[in-house]
Structure 1
């Protein structure tokens, strides 16, 4: 039985500076296109159109994907790509294979399509991913092979597949709800099971552990964090919910999780609310999110932009040097003055005016700031305010040279 569900996805923005397929199954989809197309120039044209945002809303239904694609002269064309649906027998084999392996069910529920799921499906005679020649193009421009319009559609669908592999399963004939219902039917407890038993003794469950399927192996950590699904839909958001802010937080959470998994010592020190707002802003969110972060951290948008520059130079330490001024203690002051005196010959030594931990070069737009750890931070004056000019160094002369050099390049 074929599920007649149809899903429509809003048009993606231009894809400047990013690849179309981050997931391995999205890359397999594009490989099917690139291997089968007779005219590689058309494939390149499609990639350019997709990257420029020329593909409109994408409609996905069993056996077919459709979108309106605009030429470079903005002429619209209806592009379709057909993919053969799985037969009822193939779906039964796929579902039976899936419920036999708990890891496959968990992967699908997590919107993942690990290679071993696809390999096991192929062993059962079910090819989920398209192969060479499986993507059949149709376009009103009259091309008989893949044209730039159908190729652009395929590139855009690769982005959809990155976010949700159920898109591929829908093209193969089953929508998400029908598929999950079928899996639930196959894993449901039979009616003849004793109704009075709500559970078993813990020792009994542990003793029976060897009859359960083994847990799946941990997947390899990808090189980069994934991209959360887009919340840009035709359905309006509930009152008080900001989709842009949610998308931003989801992306930052994915990036932080990836970093924590990759680096055991990647846990940050406890941050204040104002410091954490700057950390979040490193993701360069949209204007609306930046405004919320600046408001929540007690900064203007200009102050947040300045704090962001400092954070990129050195995290919390750089932010403290930017926003805090402190009195240098006696011993620290003595070491600082000795470092300044020894950095230059007497006749070349600049005239410095000290205030707290900040030393300003008299008659110039350069400044040194001493961090709490004894390192020197270069600053330069820009439009009447002091701005960071680079990372910290041990040598004050090096820091001052960096500040002077950047001031020269900007000026």
Structure 2
């Protein structure tokens, strides 16, 4: 990336569209163009930012006004620095409004805990270098007592329109920041108090220090040593012989023995089905081994065991026709029903299967936010009319439907041969999910 320095104000302009201020801890991003027909945030961290805004605001009409202003390109250049974001927002009548949103910075102790946690897992550092924020980084930080993403009430608005809560101007600024977060998660770290270069430098120093400490002999390491790890005790051989090394991950699943023999199978034994199950067991064993060998596996939560019905759908997703027919009969779904379940499974596993089969009643405030998001995604009078029935919203006069999952995501559905069928992966933004099944209609 090349830099262009402006001697008149001490600022450096960079090719990625932002301006480094005279101080290290400030970045200014050029105004973004108007946008239509899509959600403001595509990344999960950008959506988490919007959730904090929408859970905090007391006036949904101001949020709606903010979305309209942001979509219209009314938000000027956005200045980001520790604890504050600032922009001039053009009101609908052209009046410029200075708008700020405040977010509390992390304390030195919180940064110390976050950096210490991050260097323990190489995957976190690799993700940050790739300009990504993996969910496990945020979850691990929260476990260490550090909240990276804003929660309810954390986004404090200030605007010269003198509104006492979020007004349309501060809401528009927040929606624009969600687009910036999609492009660069380091914007969030800067708001919390650390510039990108400073953060990466600190991580690198800690990584080198930790690696040197691990390589040093035990007697040279500073500080008291509390006990010995079990694998070290076993390796010394004083109690038991050393444990064997960890098994290497095979390049591909093992091949089960062939059952094609001259002997006739026992009555009732389906040889093809047995071979299929053996092959699937090998695939699953390799997957589980890969997870067990991955760094930090011991800190991951244990996946909930599949039910018999869920496991039947999982198997059917890769089964040949004869085995799939047996699974359809055993599951009591029939071929068409199993085909729908398999399609749902391929879009989202157990969560998608639950959405296919279950109806439930979401909370009213969640539905109100969803309606506001849908209203903002289309120009006045252009949004498709929806008929809501519990967690299923059907487009009037169309074969399109949205389904709300218990995990907060929206799933697109389309009617095919008289049955509602999954039509794509889920989205946190209902407008994004609805676009999957309404584009081109």
- TM, length-normalised to structure 2: 0.44
Which has the greater radius of gyration? 1
- TM, length-normalised to structure 1: 0.47
